[in-house]
Amino acid sequence: MDTFVQQLINGLTIGSIYALIALGYTMVYGILRLINFAHGDVFMVGAYTGYMLAIHLGFESSPSIIGFAVVLFGSMIISAVIGMLIERFAYRPVRKYSRMTTLITAIGMSLFLEYTFVVIFSGTPRAFPQLLPNDNYTLFGNATINTSQLLIFVVSILLMLGLQYIIFKTKVGKAMRAVSFNLNSAKLMGVNTDFVIAFTFGLGSALAAAGGVLVAQYNPKIEPLMGLLIGLKAFVAAVLGGIGNIPGAVLGGLLIGAAETLVVGYGQYIGIPSTYRDAVAFAILILVLLIRPAGLLGSNVQEKV
């Protein structure tokens, strides 16, 4: 039982990160019908931005909650700007062409980010400084949770609540919803759709960057290709939840995270070695596409015209 609780905690921890990244995939898809394959790399950019902030502002030597907050929000803001620049200069010019064009552009953007960072920081992993003292807390039994896991939970929940607020209670959120239902109608309502799209990229990038900083606290080894696998898994999470569906992205992320650690913990009993951990997400992807392509919370409803 203790191991189960422990596995679940670990799973939901990584699942929260998948959820944060999946939200960016799903929001951009909801608005542009574009799979932004560079999104996982924005997560990496967020981790490196946090790293640079921590080093240059001197937070590495004196762990404090303020230092952590500055690094987290600083990285989110800088990455949001980078996300908007990506949209402005890579995606907007090709938006009027076919979806295949934008998809290939996204893959190109992904490689561009990865290898730009290899050039700048080299491919050698760097150690992300510990910004907060890492303590272990015993829950019940022998299950423990440490500070960085706790941070992941608390920060992700707060960010998701904030996102919910923006989408449902603000003017720009209303515009985002309108654009995702019908781009041209939104334009006719006087919505500056270019701005809304850029804002959506900014929002998604900020969430991914937060994920990057949080992961780097949990597992302090960052490298330019770190966004590749986690980005793909977050994409699977978005598809599992129903791409375009915001609660779906969160649910998908948590489920994939939990499934992964459960395979690590118990897979051996049913003949799945724990080394299959990274394959779980993709097995789930195949199942979803076969059984319920619209995803758990996605709707298959045709638009009424």
Partner 1 sequence: MLTLENVSVNYGAIEALTDISLQVNQGEVVTLIGANGAGKTTTLRTITGLLEPRKGRVTYEGTDISGMATHKLLPMGISMSPEGRGVFANLTVRENLDMGAYIRKDKKNIADDMERGFTLFPRLKEREKQKAGTLSGGEQQMLAMARAMMSRPRLLLLDEPSLGLAPLLVHTIFEAIDNIRAEGTTILLVEQNANAALHHSDRAYVLETGRIVMKGDSRQLAADPRVKEAYLGE
- Under the criterion CB under 8 A, does residue 192 sit at the interface with partner 1? yes
- Under the criterion CB under 8 A, does residue 271 sit at the interface with partner 1? no
Q: Outline where the chain has alpha helix (H).
A: 2-32, 39-56, 65-86, 99-121, 147-169, 171-181, 183-188, 193-218, 226-241, 246-266, 277-291
Nearer CB in complex with partner 1: 188/291: 188
Tokens of 217: 């606290």
- Of the candidates 177, 95, 157, 284, which has an alpha carbon nearest to the alpha carbon of residue 149? 157
Using CB atoms within 10 A of its CB, is residue 174 exposed (0-12), middle (13-18) or buried (19+)?
middle
- Under the criterion CB under 8 A, does residue 300 sit at the interface with partner 1? no
Nearer CB in complex with partner 1: 62/300: 300
Nearer CB in complex with partner 1: 126/177: 177
> How near is the Cβ of 166 to partner 1 at its closest, in Å?
16
Cα distances from 235 to residues 21, 47, 56, 64, 122, in angstroms, run 8, 19, 33, 33, 26
Nearer CB in complex with partner 1: 177/277: 177
Four-residue CA torsion sign, 126, 10, 285, 100: negative
> How near is the Cβ of 198 to partner 1 at its closest, in Å?
14
Nearer CB in complex with partner 1: 134/192: 192
* Residue selected from 95, 126, 187, 277 as contacting partner 1 according to rule CB under 8 A: 187
Tally of residues, the chain = 305
* Residue selected from 84, 175, 214, 222 as contacting partner 1 according to rule CB under 8 A: 175
* Residue selected from 92, 95, 177, 277 as contacting partner 1 according to rule CB under 8 A: 177
* Residue selected from 21, 44, 167, 191 as contacting partner 1 according to rule CB under 8 A: 191
Nearer CB in complex with partner 1: 3/185: 185
Nearer CB in complex with partner 1: 28/44: 28
Options 128-136, 183-191, 197-205, 218-226: segment touching partner 1 (CB under 8 A): 183-191
Nearer CB in complex with partner 1: 75/180: 180
The DSSP H or E segment spanning 138 is strand 136-138
User: Residue type for 118, please?
Assistant: V
Interatomic CA distance for residues 261 and 7, integer angstroms: 6
* Residue selected from 89, 115, 137, 181 as contacting partner 1 according to rule CB under 8 A: 181
- Under the criterion CB under 8 A, does residue 303 sit at the interface with partner 1? yes
- Check if the beta carbon of residue 253 is closer than 8 Å to that of residue 22: yes
* Residue selected from 182, 219, 274, 275 as contacting partner 1 according to rule CB under 8 A: 182
- Under the criterion CB under 8 A, does residue 190 sit at the interface with partner 1? yes
**In sequence order, which residues have a C-beta less than 8 Å from that of residue 219 and are 6 or more positions away?**
none
Instruction: Tell me if residue 132 falls in helix, strand or coil.
Output: coil
- Of the candidates 196, 183, 227, 219, which has an alpha carbon nearest to the alpha carbon of residue 79? 227
- Under the criterion CB under 8 A, does residue 193 sit at the interface with partner 1? yes
- Under the criterion CB under 8 A, does residue 294 sit at the interface with partner 1? no
Binding site for partner 1 (CB under 8 A): 171, 174-175, 177-178, 181-182, 184-193, 301, 303-305
